[in-house]
Amino acid sequence: MLSFRREACDPRTGARCAIDDVVAPRFRLRVVATDRVTWDERLSTPADAPWEGDGARVQIVVPLAGMVHVDDGRGPRSFGEGTLAMGDLGLLETRFEPEARVLMIDYAAIPLGTMDAGAGRIAVRTRARLAAALDVADEAERAAAVVALLRAEGLPLEGVTETELAAPSAASDRLLAGALSSLFSNLEAAPMTVDLERRLGLSRRRVVDLVGHFAETYDLDARSFRTLHRRWRVMAGSALMTHPQARTEEVARQVGYGSARAFCHAFAAAGLPSPGGLRRAL
């Protein structure tokens, strides 16, 4: 297993959004955090960004703090601390309210089709133990602890094996994940493929091959550095723009655009509302 992190912030407003992933082939443990922003997947995911993984995947959503809204196509439903949502990854859209910390797991399994309304609650003691488990430094131990706690709550995680979670990731994948995490958490520097080449000390052709293999192995939502970067900064920018005092020019700079005009053009090209119109669209 390995870690892959992305973060964006606006120092002027204190707005922040972050994604912390622990991934293995066919399995992902994700923690989403929102500080002073609303993150709506419907308003932040480019129209050309469907999940590109192979096969069916189940997703489990567990709010550890704050509120999240999950829509399976039949209308949004609200979930707070002590509740959970579960369904087919390809059908769920999620909206994270400000000050949310949400645990999400998706893994290869038989498709559920729609959210399971019967699996709705998590014990108080389990929530505390989940929070503690997420602080475990070792990725495999962290994932195994979280899976064990959710399995004890009766969630259908039998298909996730300890052997699978404990399998070591390739050294090249770990180096690449570290480099991507650093670049994608410093969007203001407008990272490019050449920056990844320099960090890894590899040729462009080798880097392209590594990123493609990495994205396919760990079921990322794109297959190239350029597309991963473009989608992440649109998503991050859309979240930062929901702060009441957000300024288009400042957020554009924080996510690596040379101007507010370029920022707005990127949103139009992605089929999303204008940055200035995001708060009205929520």
Domain boundaries along the sequence of the chain: 2-166, 171-281
CB 124 within 8 A of CB 131: no
CATH domain 2-166 topology: Jelly Rolls (2.60.120)
| Spatial contact of 21 and 30, defined as CB atoms under 8 Å apart | yes
Cβ-in-10-Å burial (0-12, 13-18, 19+) of 64 comes to buried
The pLDDT value recorded for residue 89 is 75
Rounded average pLDDT over 230-238: 95
Average pLDDT over residues 53-71: 84
Model confidence over 84-136: pLDDT tens digits?
988 887 778 899 999 999 999 998 865 444 434 435 888 899 999 999 999 99
Q: Domain spanning 171-281: which superfamily? A: Homeodomain-like (1.10.10.60)
CB atoms within 10 A of CB 281: 13
* Least-confidence region, from 114-118, 149-153, 204-208, 247-251: 114-118
pLDDT of residue 47: 65
Give 158's pLDDT tier (boundaries 50, 70, 90): confident
Q: Is 88 exposed, middle or buried (0-12, 13-18, 19+ CB in 10 A)?
A: buried
Q: Which of 9, 15, 14 is nearest to 37 (CA)?
A: 15
Is it the case that residue 75 has pLDDT exceeding 90? Answer: no
Q: Is 279 exposed, middle or buried (0-12, 13-18, 19+ CB in 10 A)?
A: middle
Q: At what angle do helices 225-240 and 260-269 cross, to 10 degrees?
A: 110
Q: What is the pLDDT of residue 55?
A: 52
Residue 110 vs residues 59, 115, 161, 183: alpha-carbon distances, Å: 11, 13, 15, 35
- Provide the mean pLDDT of the chain: 90
201: phi then psi, degrees, rounded to nearest 5: 65, 35
- Express each pLDDT in 8-23 by its tens digit: 999 999 999 999 999 9
- 129: CB partners within 8 A, 6+ apart: 149
